[in-house]
Structures are given as C-alpha cells and as structure tokens.
C-alpha cells in the first residue's frame, strides 16, 4: 500500500511494487492527461511534479512517491488554467497535443524553480520531445513566461 497526495487529494494505492506511477495515475486514478510516450523516460510526455520537481512518471516506481505530493496536468492550475497553460493557448502551441501536458509540466517546474532562466537553462531543462515540431511556438510561450515570470510564479 502506497499513500501519497495527487492534486491535493490523499490517495492510497494497493499496487504491485515497481509499478510505474504513470500507470497508477492513468489506470487506477483515471487521470489520463499524463501521457505514455516512449516508456524509457526520454520523451517527457509523462512528466508530472513530485514535491514541485518535474519527474518522468513512466519509470518512476510508485513506492518512491510515498508521502509525497504529486501534481498532474489536471491539478496544475487548481480551479482554472495555470498561466503556462494560458500562454500555450495564446501562442497556439499544440498541434496534435499529445506531448503538451508534459511540456507544460516541465515549463511550470522550470519557472517555479527559476523565474528568470537563461537561454542555456531553458535548453537544458526543456528536453521533452514534440513530434509535430512546435518548438518555435513553445519557445515563444516560454519567452513570454520569462518576461512575465512574477505572474507565472504566483500561480
């Protein structure tokens, strides 16, 4: 039995040890915004926050989140859209949209940790893969977030 918090709600998962957090979120809790992409923690479609830090959930054993706070795309904005989600809409980032929840989660974690990241820090942290190639739009949204970082961090 693993006890942890997801999007502000306490949950208990009676699950086999070693089961990736991704499958608990999707299959047991019905939170399907977190996506399965590659299964080897490379593409970033499965990115969630664990105690505020971006983690790829496809290889993260659920027992490693015991007693921790997990935030998925469904809980990122609380009762509304997070400022990063608003910028994604404004800049029309998604095409197919499959990778976007992971991209948004990675971006939100970056700005939570550093309100004024350098270009090098952005490149180092934004390693999620977008098959549609919307990187220029992603970058435009990130640039606007950097320009208005206090608003992004307030969320």
Task: Select from 47, 71, 95 the last residue of a domain.
Answer: 71
155, pLDDT greater than 60? no
Q: What is the distance between the alpha carbons of residues 35 and 48, in angstroms, rounded to a whole number?
A: 10
Domain that holds residue 90: 83-154
Looking at the structure, tell me whether residues 56 and 97 fall in a common domain: no
Task: Select from 42, 71, 100 the last residue of a domain.
Answer: 71
Confidence of residue 148 (pLDDT cuts 50, 70, 90): confident
* Domain CATH code at residue 141: 1.10.150.120
Residue 76 included in any domain: no
Residue 60 included in any domain: yes
Looking at the structure, tell me whether residues 55 and 90 fall in a common domain: no
Give the pLDDT of residue 64. 98
Give the pLDDT of residue 1. 93
Give percent of the chain with pLDDT exceeding 90: 88
The better pLDDT of the pair 55, 155 is held by 55
Give the pLDDT of residue 9. 97
Residue 77 included in any domain: no
Give the pLDDT of residue 135. 93
pTM for the structure as a whole: 0.93
Render pLDDT for 88-118 as a digit per residue (tens, 0 to 9): 999 999 989 899 999 999 999 999 999 899 9
Render pLDDT for 7-44 as a digit per residue (tens, 0 to 9): 999 999 999 999 999 999 999 999 999 999 999 999 99
Give the pLDDT of residue 153. 57
Looking at the structure, tell me whether residues 52 and 98 fall in a common domain: no
Q: Which long-range contacts (CB under 8 A, 24 or more apart) does 109-114 make?
A: 109/47, 109/49, 109/52, 109/53, 109/54, 110/54, 111/84, 111/145, 111/146, 111/149, 111/152, 111/153, 112/52, 112/153, 113/52, 113/53
Helix (H, G, I), strand (E, B) or coil at 24: helix
């Amino acid at each position: 039995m693993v006890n942890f918090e997801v999007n502000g709600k306490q949950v208990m998962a009676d699950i086999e040890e070693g089961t990736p957090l991704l499958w608990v979120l999707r299959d047991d809790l019905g939170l399907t915004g977190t996506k399965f992409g590659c299964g080897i923690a490379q593409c970033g479609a499965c990115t969630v926050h664990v105690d505020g830090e971006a983690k790829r959930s496809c290889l993260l054993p659920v027992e490693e989140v015991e007693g921790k706070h997990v935030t998925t795309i469904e809980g990122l904005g609380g009762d509304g859209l997070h400022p990063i989600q608003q910028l994604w809409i404004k800049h029309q980032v998604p095409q197919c949209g499959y990778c976007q929840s992971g991209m948004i989660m990675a971006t939100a974690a970056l700005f939570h940790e550093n309100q004024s990241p350098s270009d090098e820090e952005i490149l180092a942290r934004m390693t999620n893969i977008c098959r549609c190639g919307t990187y220029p739009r992603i970058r435009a949204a990130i640039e606007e977030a950097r320009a208005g970082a206090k608003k992004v961090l307030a969320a």
